[in-house]
Structure 1
Amino acid sequence: MAKDWVMHASGGGRTINPVPYTGEAELFGVKLAEGDLEKMRDAHGVIRYHLVFEWLLPTFSEEGFYEFVAGRMRNYMIHIMKDELFRPSYFDPMDEKYIQADHVARFFGCQLV
Structure 2
Amino acid sequence: MMRLEALKTFTQTEQNIMKDLAISIFNTYPPTDIPQATVKCPSCETTIRDLDHVCPKCKTRFPICIASGKVLQTLRFWICATCKHRACPSKVANSTYCPLCHSTALFAA
Q: What's the TM-score bracket when you normalise by the shorter of the two chains?
A: under 0.3
TM-score normalised according to structure 1 size: 0.27
Task: Decide which structure has the larger Cα Rg and report it.
Answer: 2
Structure with the higher helix share, 1 or 2:
1
Structure with the higher strand share, 1 or 2:
2
